[in-house]
């Protein structure tokens, strides 16, 4: 019964499915105000669709940094994986959405969160020539030597995909680290 004493019909599963579809569409199209309104009315901030994609995954994958930030403020989990084991951070790295990557990292996304095959967001960014995203991930502690289940590193993945800019970027990082280690070892030997 509602407040006037009249009975309300319980929504059918078809009606509930239509409402859920509209909520997922709002995430895909970055409608942060709508997402906030429905979550404040009781829709779980980690609602998932039939593929396991959460609202934050859909907003991230479609490049909506404002919606991602709003969902994070509403306690959406930035590390919630879909049915294929993919994270919102990996999805944003794949699509090349620099601002979404920044928002996710600032919101607590696990920079090393790997998919079941061991691929990290850094590997995904390297494969698809996303140099700015690589810089962000490295600045947040991403391991440039991480390996997937086949032993591939971000540099290996970039080479496999022919991603010239990220190959150069990761090779330069490797040289800098090698030079830094050599300098440290030389200093230790010379007593400096």
* 29: in domain: yes
CA-wise closest residue to 76 among 92, 91, 60, 63:
60
pTM over 0.75: yes
Local structure of residue 6 (DSSP, 8 states): P
The answer on 104 and 66 residing in a single domain is yes
CATH number, domain containing residue 159:
1.25.40.20
pLDDT score of 177: 78
> Which of 110, 126, 142 corresponds to the end of one domain?
110
Report pLDDT for 82. Answer: 97
44 Cβ neighbours under 8 A, 6+ residues apart: none
Same domain membership, residue 104 and residue 21: yes
What are the average pLDDT values for consecutive 10-residue runs of the chain, which has 192 residues? 59 76 97 97 95 97 98 98 97 98 98 96 98 97 96 97 97 80 51 54
Confidence at residue 60, expressed as pLDDT on a 0 to 100 scale: 98
Range of the domain at 137: 116-186
> Looking at residue 30, what is its pLDDT?
98
Tell me, letter by letter, the H, E, C secondary structure of 73-112.
Answer: HCCCCCCCCCCCCCCHHHHHHHHCCHHHHHHHHHCCCCCC
Total residues found in the chain within this entry:
192
Q: Can you name the residues that pair with 48 across neighbouring β-strands? A: 54
Same domain membership, residue 145 and residue 81: no
Count of structural domains within the chain: 2
Q: What is the pLDDT of residue 1?
A: 45
């Amino acid at each position: 019964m509602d407040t006037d004493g009249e009975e309300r019909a319980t929504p059918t599963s078809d009606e509930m499915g239509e409402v859920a579809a509209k909520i997922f569409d709002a995430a895909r199209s970055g409608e942060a105000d709508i997402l906030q309104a429905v979550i404040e009315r009781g829709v779980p901030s980690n609602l998932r669709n039939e593929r396991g994609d959460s609202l934050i995954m859909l907003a991230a994958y479609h490049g909506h940094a404002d919606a991602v930030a709003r969902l994070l403020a509403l306690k959406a989990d930035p590390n919630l994986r879909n049915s294929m084991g993919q994270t919102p951070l990996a999805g944003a790295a794949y699509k090349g959405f620099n601002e979404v990557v920044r928002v996710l990292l600032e919101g607590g996304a696990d920079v090393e969160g790997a998919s079941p095959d061991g691929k990290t967001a850094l590997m995904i960014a390297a494969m698809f020539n996303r140099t700015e995203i690589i810089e962000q991930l490295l600045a947040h502690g991403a391991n440039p030597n991480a390996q997937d289940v086949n032993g591939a590193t971000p540099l290996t993945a970039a080479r496999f995909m022919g991603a010239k800019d990220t190959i150069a970027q990761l090779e330069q990082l490797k040289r800098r680290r090698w030079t830094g280690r050599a300098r440290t070892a030389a200093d230790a030997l010379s007593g400096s």
